[in-house]
Every structure is written in C-alpha cells, then in structure tokens.
Structure 1
C-alpha cells in the first residue's frame, strides 16, 4: 500500500466546537495508530480533501509523522476551488496553514461550489487514486463519511481496496489507555 486516503466526521458531527477540545487529541492518536503500521509497510502518500474535522486533524498527524518518516507526503485534493471561503475566519486560516505545508494541493473541480455532485466526484476520484481508506466512522452514528465509505466498499468488492475503520470503540480504548498512564 503506497497511497491511503483518510476521512471521517466533521467537528459538528462529533459535538466538537473548539480547536482545543480534548477529544481531538484522542482522534489524532487513533489516526496515528492507523498510519504507523502502513508506514512500516511502505506508505508514501496520505490523501485528504481538506474538509474540517478528521481530515485536517490528519494533516497535523502527517506533519508530526514526517519528522520520523521524512518520505511521507500529504496530498490535499479539495472537491472544488475555494472550498473554505464560507468557513469562519479562524477555520480559513487553519485551512490555509495546512495547505501551505502540504506536499501537494489541487482542486478536483476547477470551479467554485456548484452542487453536491462535486462531493460525489471528489469521493470517487480519491477512492480511485488510493489503495485504501482510513475512516473514522461508526455505522451506528450516520454522518457525511458514509458516502466515501459506500464508494470504498464498492471498490473493495472488485479491486481489493483496503478499508481501515476507526470506531468509537477504538477511541474509547485510546481514552482508557491514556487514563491508565
């Protein structure tokens, strides 16, 4: 596996409304825990679409891992041009800071937002260009990641695409490990 996509819930889907929320550190640890075995097997690229929440937190994890794995690279493939233009100002700055450090950044659609079809195009494009998907998602709590998961499951059926789920149970285990330390 050389290229893996990472996605998951947006902050509001997790009840997270501040960048300093302690839950974010547990989510980032779970992402790191999923990436390290893949890095040891030769992972070269992590691909995100730059959406708020799990994807931007993944970028931070990648930047941290690059200190130990300098060949690891981050690609951000936004669904459309200026996807962050209607976000709150601090979120726009955060997005721009992440983009400035990414190894590759582009928009799949070369236009600004036109409709939900651009998100479907993004999910299909990223799934097509990657070997697997790390996804923070729990079937019990529906949310936006389900669309990417549906496409990944189709590819898995026909092409051996790997799906690495991170569930709420996995997060609970990380919280418990932290409490014990």
Structure 2
C-alpha cells in the first residue's frame, strides 16, 4: 500500500471547537498509532480533503511524523476551490498553516462550492486514488464520515481496499492507556 485516504468526523460533530481541546490529543495519538506501522510497511502518501477535524489533525500528525519518516508525504485535495472561505479567521489561519507545509495541494473541482455533489465526487476521487482508507468513524454515532465509509465498503467489493477504522472504543482505550502512563 502506497497511498492512504485519511478522513473522519468534522470537529463540530465531536463537540470540539478548539484545537487545544484534550480530546484532540487522543485523536491525534490514535491516528499516529495507526499511521506508524503503515509508514514502516511502505506507505508513501496520505491524502486528506482538508476538512476541519480529523482530517486536519491527521495532517498535523503526518507532518509531525516526517521528522522520523521523511519519506511520508501529505496531499491536500480539497473538494472545491476556497473551501475555507466561510470559516472564521482562526480556522483559516490553522488550515493555511497546514496546507503551506503539505507536499501537494490542489482542488478536485476547479470551481467554488456549488452543491453537495462536489463532496460525493471528492469521495469517489480520493477512494480511487488511494490503496486504503483510515477513517475515524463509529457506526453507533452517525455523522458525515458515514458517506465515505459506505462508499469505501462498496469500493472494497470491487478491489482489495483495506479499511482501517478508529472507533470511539479505540479512543477510550487510547485515553485510558495515556492516563495510566501519566498517573
């Protein structure tokens, strides 16, 4: 596997409105824990669409992992032009700080937002350009990742396409092991 599509919940779907929320640390640690063995097995690219939440936190982890694994590369492929345009200034600054360090940045649709179909196209494009999916999604807690997860399961029927999932149980385990280490 050379290319991984990383996605999951948007920050507001998790009730997280600041990047210094303690839950973000657990999510990042779970992403790192999932990415590290994949990189060691030859993963070269991580693709994200640049959504606030799991995707940008995951992008941060990829950039952090470059210190140890300089061969790993980050691509931010937004669904449409200027996706961050309506975000508040703090979120725009955060977004730009990440994409400025990415190895590749482009927009799938060369137009600004027009309709939800652009998001569907983004899912299919990223699934087709990747060899596997890492998704933070729990089937007991629906949200926007459900669409990607269901598309990935259909994609998996057509070709060998591993789906690596981070659930809320995994995050709970991460939090408990972290708390045990630092008690």
| TM over 0.5, shorter chain | yes
**Aligned ranges 1:114-133 → 2 under 5 Å:** 114-133=114-133
Query: Which residue in the other structure is 1:21 paired with?
Result: 21
In structure 2, what is the Cα distance between the partners aligned to 1:71 and 1:15?
34
How many angstroms does 1:158 deviate by? 1.4
Summarize deviations over 1:10-68 as a string: whole Å, max 9, x none: 11110111121000000000000110111111000000000000000011100110000
TM-score norm. by structure 1 comes to 0.99
How many angstroms does 1:177 deviate by? 0.4
Query: Which residue in the other structure is 2:87 paired with?
Result: 87
Query: Which residue in the other structure is 2:178 paired with?
Result: 178
Summarize deviations over 1:85-123 as a string: whole Å, max 9, x none: 000110001111111000000000000000000000000
Query: Which residue in the other structure is 1:33 paired with?
Result: 33
In structure 2, what is the Cα distance between the partners aligned to 1:110 and 1:17?
29
TM-score norm. by structure 2 comes to 0.98
In structure 1, what is the Cα distance between the partners aligned to 2:179 and 2:101?
33
Corresponding residue pairs, total:
181
Structure 1, unaligned runs of 5 or more: none
Deviation >3 Å, runs of 4+: none
In structure 2, what is the Cα distance between the partners aligned to 1:98 and 1:64?
11
Q: Cα RMSD between the aligned structures?
A: 0.5
In structure 2, what is the Cα distance between the partners aligned to 1:93 and 1:108?
22
In structure 1, what is the Cα distance between the partners aligned to 2:157 and 2:14?
29
Structure 2, unaligned runs of 5 or more: none
In structure 2, what is the Cα distance between the partners aligned to 1:7 and 1:133?
8
Query: Which residue in the other structure is 1:166 paired with?
Result: 166
How many angstroms does 1:155 deviate by? 1.1
